[in-house]
Every structure is written in structure tokens, then in C-alpha cells.
A and B are shown apart, each in its own frame.
Chain A
Amino acid sequence: MNHDERYAGRPADDVTPDRAQELLARGGDLSETPGDAVWERIRAEIEGADQLAPRRRRARAAGARRRPGRWPLLAAAAAGALVAWVGTEVVGAGQQGEEIVVADATLQELPDAGGAVDGSAEVVSVDGERRLRVQLDELPDTGSGYLEVWLLRPDVSGLVTVGVISGTTAEFSLPAAVDLDEYPVVDISREELDGDPSHGGLSVVRGELSTASAGAGDPPPVATDPLTDTPARSDREAYP
């Protein structure tokens, strides 16, 4: 087919390529599905919050519980999520004693939060004991349930529960055994009163603690700036 014949078939008003045509031509073929690597990353990130694909039966069979109608968090924690109760709420926690901020985080709303709720979290060392202090700008709607505070691995392959937050602020005592380098992500989830101790899969806010080293009794003297804390991660979790 020669050139003239080729263009003879074009619509009459197609003499001058317009912007749409030019951009489509320049953009080229956008339909090539990206590699499985990206898909695996998507799955890994999602898997923390719900079950996804049939291929993860393996992980479920490995011990995660399934409930109809629920999205058990970490059902697919292939690495084997261990749910452990670590926090003890500090009642009447005051400012007594010398207190050092070990790490802090900005908490940002997640898509299912049902409204803009932000907050902050910090880990302080008081007389050698680490405390996780959580503050929410406002109390998210909990419906008939309640809010639970967790520490997660960044890839959500494991989590530890810290305790229940019933107001906009709460403070929890963290045992020395909890490694904040391993579980740096503060997550607050909406839970139902269903007797199921695992994460309900509905996180309302989340943020990553920014810390250099949080070994018990050996806090770094200076906390790092939370604003430099992995912006890509929080962007990723913004409202679509």
C-alpha cells in the first residue's frame, strides 16, 4: 500500500494531525502489561489488608484463619504473622520522670477511613520504659466497634497489637522485646466486637515511625524528622 492510498482512507478532517492524534502517536503502545514484579509488589502490599487471589491458599492453609464475609488482615502473611499482645495502656500517664522522644510518626488517613483523620504517634522513653503515644486529630467513626492500635512490619508481613484507643489520645507501654526497627509502622484499625483477635483489615490511619535505633533502654538522643519519613509510602496510601 503506497502512502497516498494509505492516507486516502483517513477521515476528511484528518489533514492536519491534531493534538490528540499527535499525542497518541507519540505515546505509542501503552497496552503492554508490566512485568510480574510490579504485580508481586502490589499483591504484597495489599495482602497485608485483605485476601486476594486463590494462589494464596497456601498461605491461608499455613495457619491464617478465614471467616466468611471478613477480610482478615494478614490472612496471607506468607512469612507467618504472629499476633501478640504487647502493649499495656499506661493509665494516668503523666510527664513525671525524664522523657526522651525515641521516634515519631505522622499518621495519615487511609481510604476506608471515611473522612479525613490524621494524627501523630511518638515513642518516648520514660525512666527506661518505652511508651507509644498516639494522638488523633479527631475520633474516627467506629460504628459499633472500636479502634485498635498496632505496630506493623513495613511490608505488613507481621504485626503486633498494642492496645485499644477509645479517645483521641492514648499511651501504651511497649515491652523491651518489641523491635521498632522491625515493626515501625503504627496502624490504627477499626475492629468489630466479634471476638476475633486478629486485625480486622480496616485501617483508618497509618504512619511509619522514624527512628534510627530504638533498642530498649538505649534510645538515640535525637529523634529524626517525621516529615522526611517515606513520602512515597504515605502517598501510596492516600485516597484514590
Chain B
Amino acid sequence: MSVEDGDDDAIAVAWENAEPEALERAYRRWGGLVRGLARRAVGPDDADDVTQAVFVSAWRGRATYDRDAAPLGAWLVGITRRRIADQLRARQRQVPVAVAREQQDVPDGSAWTAADSTDLLTIYEELERIGDPQRRIILLAYVEDLTQREIAERLDLPLGTVKTHTNRTLARLRTLLGGAR
């Protein structure tokens, strides 16, 4: 997984300056995250459409992006949330039963409720907002299932630092998710 050191801020600067390569760089960097989040929310059939809509609307609305207000990744996750909502609304207009269908679309068998996918969006939006190394630590710990010690070695950080970051970031996520309820 691409939790290696990224030049997220460099991409954000390029984006803000509307440099021609910025969109592709952003897509290469966050396309997987956008599509992954979309997939959990609308299923694989519509995930590509949502991904396309996210990057197209983000690029068209790039003048509204403010690097001081949010890192680009967090901003894109916010747009992902809105495009997912659009997609779900469009479904409701088209096929009244389509919403029930979405859960079968997820092939891993675990049912993603709307609350689950919303919370997952919240988590990733916050991780993108916090940035590295906290983001990478959390992903290595809970997505890749590495121990704190392994993470410390992988990232060449003191074990105590990894533990502190993990605890603080988890607490922050817990507050966010709790506050949303």
C-alpha cells in the first residue's frame, strides 16, 4: 500500500496553482482512496463513476481549494462524500430499491451500512487532515496489522513516538465518530 512518504504538499501546491500535471498527480496519489471509499459506499458498479465525478468536480472547482484550510487529500475526501451522496440520491430517483442493492455489491460479504461508510469517510478525511506520520502509523497498525514495534522499525521512529501518535490519533478519531452520533 502506498503509505510511503508522499509529496502531498507538493501536489497541493501544484493543484492550487492549477498546474497541468496536478490533476494526474492527485489522481495517482488519492485515486485509490477515493475509489476505495466510494466502493464501500455505493458498491463496485458505481465506484468508478463516483471516482470520475470526484476528480472532475474537484478540478473544475479547484479555485475553491484553500491549502491553508485543508490538505488536498482531506478536501478530496470531503468531495468524495458529496459525490457519494449525489450517487445515492440519483439512485433513489431512478430505482427506489437500489439502495438495498448496494450491500450485495460489496464482494467481500461484509455488509457496509450507510453509517459504516460514512464513518469510514470521516476516519480517512481526518487521517488526511492530520497527515504523516500519524496517518501512516494508523494505517500500518490497523489496515496492515503491524505491531507498534514493527511500525517503529518500518518508519524509523522511536517506539514511544509511535505509541503516542497511535493513542492520540485513535482518541481523536473516537471523539469524531462519537461526536457524529
Contacts and interface: CB of A to CB of B under 8 A. Distances in A.
A224 to B, nearest CB: 15
Contact of B56 (A1, A25, A33, A45): A45
Task: Give the interface size bracket for B toward A.
Answer: 35 or more
A221 interface: no
Contact of B32 (A32, A43, A111): A32
B5 interface: no
A20 B123 contact: yes
B174 A41 contact: no
Contacts of A143: none
A43 to B, nearest CB: 8
Given A25-B142, A46-B59, A11 B35 contact: no
A24 B145 CA distance: 10
Nearest to B49: A232
Interface in B40-95: 40, 48-49, 51-61, 63-64, 79, 82-83, 86-87, 89-90, 93-94
Interface residues of A, number: 52
B156 interface: no
Given A20-B174, A237-B60, A31 B123 contact: no
A194 interface: no
Given A11-B166, A20-B123, A28-B143, A240 B57 contact: yes
30 contacts: A5-B147, A12-B167, A13-B170, A14-B170, A18-B170, A18-B174, A20-B119, A20-B174, A20-B177, A24-B123, A24-B143, A30-B33, A30-B35, A30-B37, A30-B124, A31-B139, A32-B32, A34-B32, A34-B51, A38-B51, A39-B31, A42-B56, A43-B24, A53-B24, A232-B87, A237-B60, A240-B58, A240-B60, A240-B64, A240-B79
Interface of B: 1-3, 20-21, 23-24, 27-28, 31-33, 35-37, 40, 48-49, 51-61, 63-64, 79, 82-83, 86-87, 89-90, 93-94, 108, 110, 116, 119-120, 123-124, 138-139, 141-145, 147-150, 159, 163, 166-167, 170, 173-174, 177
Interface of A: 1, 5-14, 18-21, 23-34, 37-39, 41-43, 45-46, 49-54, 110-112, 231-232, 235-240
